[in-house]
Structure 1
Amino acid sequence: MLRNLGVALLLSQLALAAPTEERGSIVGLDLFASIRGRYVGVATESYNINNSTTWGKAYKNLALGSDFSIWTPENSLKWEVTEPQPGVFDFSLGDALFKLAKQNGKRMRGHTLAWHSQLPPWVTANNYTAAELKNILQRHVLTEVGHFKGQVTHWDVVNEVFEEDGTFRNSIWYKTFGPDYIEWSFRWARQADPSAKLYINDYNFESISPKTTAAYNLVKSLKAKGVPIDGVGVQAHLIVGQVPKDFEAALARFASLGVDVALTELDIRLDLPVTSKNLAQQAKDYKAAVDACLGVKRCVGITVWQVTDALSWVPSTFPGQGAPLLYDEKLKPKPAYDAFQNALLLDQWI
């Protein structure tokens, strides 16, 4: 403990002494997180990292640097990419990112297997009997997880299965099988890779609500049946000024079931244009999110959903909002970066 404390104090001095624009590359967030027993990860893709422009090279330095120790493929493991035609699998994009990860000492999260969105049209065309569709889902889970066996730390096995009122989302999977597909998917994933930690993943899991109560009850029932579920992924797509006050309590409630929790897709969007005021609030909100994870022993880590505002999904989905990440469009660290770092520093809580 004393040794770790000394390391933390030294790193904090180095970080605070470095010019702001260099902090991300000199002393990264993940170094501080590891002292706290957590990781910091990021969503990215091989084509982001291999961008040969000057901007792209700066992005690569950040993605490969010490801010992040674990990567999540933003899109390249989703069904529409990996199985565009029935039984025809294409893992080339995922393989490219996994290769970069291995070369650079990064771990990988797998995202995602059974989801209602980003499915190829052939899956949702309603041309299959229930038995045929079950075989299709089984084949997909076994093949994809099997392809990356031994290379994935966590898999988001089922994604976004609940509505806000706590009812099951009326996806093709639920309409056809009811909730049974959830159990099947976890069992198939464990069969294909016994070493990977298996997660349920969803948004608006950051507060105690009908949705999180339903998820709590589902996880409890799955565990009671011996289903191999290891964690709850809390996406944490948040809005500036609206971070829930019971964030930590929501995480702790899931963890009380004997599973890990993780913030899996953290970003905190703000109303545009960017101002010093909303950046300051965003920084406070990032610190609150990190503090919530640090407050729960079984919160194992935090993944931000892309490196830079320039590549965020937010502006195209929420017009008038954006700038949700730690680095701005020019790849400069924002006040949120410093707040994230300060939340992790060991000397903030001793």
Structure 2
Amino acid sequence: MKFFVNVIIKFILLILFALASGTSALPLKDAFKDNFQIGVALANRDIRNSRVTDIVNIEFNVVVAEFGMKMANVLPEQGIYNFTWTDEFFDFAKENGQVVVGHTLVWHKAIPDWFFLDAKGQKLKRDQLLLKLQRHINTYVGRYRGQVLGWDVVNEAFNYDGSFRNSPWLEIIGEDYIEKAFEFAHQADPNAELYYNDYGLVSPKKHASVVALVKRLKKKAIPIHAVGIQGHYSLTYPDLKALDKTIARFANLGVKVMITELDVSVLPFPGPEDRGEDAEINVARAQQLNPYPEQLSEEAMQQFTNRYRDLFRVFLKHSNSISRVTFWGLTDAHTWRNNWPIPGRADYPLLYDRALKPKPVVKALLELIEARDSYIHL
């Protein structure tokens, strides 16, 4: 009886919060429930911020750790794990009825240098690193066995030209390090979904390499359940027809597709001359590269809204293949895009503004799902 009372109280509080804060009348997770799950990435601070968690609990049914589950955070010292925050993250998700996607097991960043060295400081050999990786995955994935929807097993392993990204994993183990990581993850949690995740997958050569990877894993009967297409987009990138074809090609391989890390930058992308360590940007150029230091113009907000709407038209066209769309953050106040690739810039790529108020795009997405025949054709 007490459980049901608590559920009712929580439901009433969420409604009151929605009315007070201006969140959408119909939560995004409910609006899109017949199409795909709606997820959000959370930073370490977010699950301790009640204003953020109240919105998250209304709008989203999948949560991903933006940084907190990467190796450098859970394994800060050789052989010493720190699961304090990750345990808290899983408890938060369980308490609020969300599922967790683990991000990420193998990446070329956020890895302590000593992970690739032996006790004498010498570079590990192939078999040594494989054993170390297997033990790490057994420890990490095994701890949360049965508690995750799936894992981003390998993240960003290819360059735009389709070649393997240079990393200690590739240098020491070889190209099959990806296969081994998937094998180890499946052994550690046979019921977890396993994903490959990368950006720029509309690029033909990079796309072809990931297609070849999926085929190789499937031929060897190594489980891979989905490809994550990172959605770090802009008002002009990617071409919608190219995105449409990219999703279809992955779906034709017999794996699910996920749109991950979704955000839409409204800023002009700087050229190489603007980003060098010694680059000096004059006042006029700095203003061009940071056109909205305080807030978006009405015109830019409309362009932003239209862009998200067009992207979701593509996603909805492929809703039979797309299992999840995950936004890479909740609020513009704490997006990585504010300072990349030039420090100090203000960007506006997410659904909620710096005051945690929903932008017009939220209403636009809800209206889109109501007009069910509007996304059949691009």
TM superposition score normalised by structure 1: 0.88
Residue 78 (1) aligns with residue 70 (2): yes
Change (3 A) 1:266 1:177: same
What amino acid is the match of 2:357? K
Residue 209 (1) aligns with residue 210 (2): no
5+ residue gaps, structure 1, are 1-17, 52-56
Give the superposed CA RMSD: 2.0
What amino acid is the match of 1:47? R
Quote how far apart the aligned CAs of 1:30 are: 0.7
- Corresponding residue for 2:97? 105
Residue 316 (1) aligns with residue 316 (2): no
The SS at the match of 2:325 is strand
What amino acid is the match of 1:340? L
- Corresponding residue for 1:42? 40
Quote how far apart the aligned CAs of 1:19 are: 7.8
Q: Give the counterpart of 1:165 among 158, 161, 164.
A: 161
Quote how far apart the aligned CAs of 1:346 are: 5.5
Distance 1:148 1:343 in 2: 37
Matched length: 325
1:195-234 aligned at under 5 Å gives the runs: 195-205=191-201, 207-234=202-229
- Corresponding residue for 2:248? 252
Report runs of 4+ in structure 1 exceeding 6 Å deviation.
none
Distance 2:186 2:260 in 1: 20
Kindly indicate whether the alpha-carbon contact (under 8 Å) linking 2:129 and 2:173 is maintained by their aligned counterparts in 1. Answer: no
Quote how far apart the aligned CAs of 1:20 are: 11
Distance 1:21 1:318 in 2: 32
Quote how far apart the aligned CAs of 1:289 are: 2.1
Kindly indicate whether the alpha-carbon contact (under 8 Å) linking 2:64 and 2:103 is maintained by their aligned counterparts in 1. Answer: yes
Per-residue displacement from partner, 1:211-241 (whole Å, max 9, x unpaired)? Answer: 1111111111111111111100011101122
Quote how far apart the aligned CAs of 1:347 are: 4.0
The SS at the match of 1:263 is strand
5+ residue gaps, structure 2, are 1-17, 268-290
Residue 278 (1) aligns with residue 300 (2): yes
- Please tell me whether Structure 1 or Structure 2 has the larger radius of gyration of its CA atoms: 2
- What's the % identity of the aligned pairs? 35
Quote how far apart the aligned CAs of 1:341 are: 2.4
Quote how far apart the aligned CAs of 1:44 are: 0.7
Q: Relative to structure 2, which stretch is displaced further, 252-261 or 340-349? A: 340-349
- Corresponding residue for 2:55? 62
Per-residue displacement from partner, 1:82-126 (whole Å, max 9, x unpaired)? Answer: 112222211111110110110111111010001000111312556
- Corresponding residue for 1:288? 310
Distance 2:83 2:204 in 1: 37
TM superposition score normalised by structure 2: 0.81
Quote how far apart the aligned CAs of 1:193 are: 0.7
Quote how far apart the aligned CAs of 1:196 are: 0.9
- Corresponding residue for 1:181? 177
Change (3 A) 1:131 1:240: same
Q: Relative to structure 2, which stretch is displaced further, 181-190 or 286-295? A: 286-295
Quote how far apart the aligned CAs of 1:152 are: 0.6
Q: Give the counterpart of 2:327 among 278, 282, 304.
A: 304
Kindly indicate whether the alpha-carbon contact (under 8 Å) linking 1:241 and 1:281 is maintained by their aligned counterparts in 2. Answer: no
Distance 2:262 2:369 in 1: 16
Distance 1:258 1:321 in 2: 40
Distance 2:324 2:216 in 1: 25
Distance 2:28 2:231 in 1: 18
Quote how far apart the aligned CAs of 1:258 are: 0.2
Kindly indicate whether the alpha-carbon contact (under 8 Å) linking 1:142 and 1:189 is maintained by their aligned counterparts in 2. Answer: yes
Kindly indicate whether the alpha-carbon contact (under 8 Å) linking 1:160 and 1:203 is maintained by their aligned counterparts in 2. Answer: yes
Distance 1:228 1:289 in 2: 29
Quote how far apart the aligned CAs of 1:348 are: 4.8
Change (3 A) 1:35 1:180: same
Per-residue displacement from partner, 1:175-213 (whole Å, max 9, x unpaired)? Answer: 1122111011111111111111100000112x2511111
Distance 1:175 1:101 in 2: 37
The SS at the match of 2:40 is strand
- Corresponding residue for 2:8? none
Kindly indicate whether the alpha-carbon contact (under 8 Å) linking 2:108 and 2:167 is maintained by their aligned counterparts in 1. Answer: yes
Distance 1:130 1:315 in 2: 39
Quote how far apart the aligned CAs of 1:295 are: 1.6
1:100-139 aligned at under 5 Å gives the runs: 100-124=92-116, 127-139=123-135
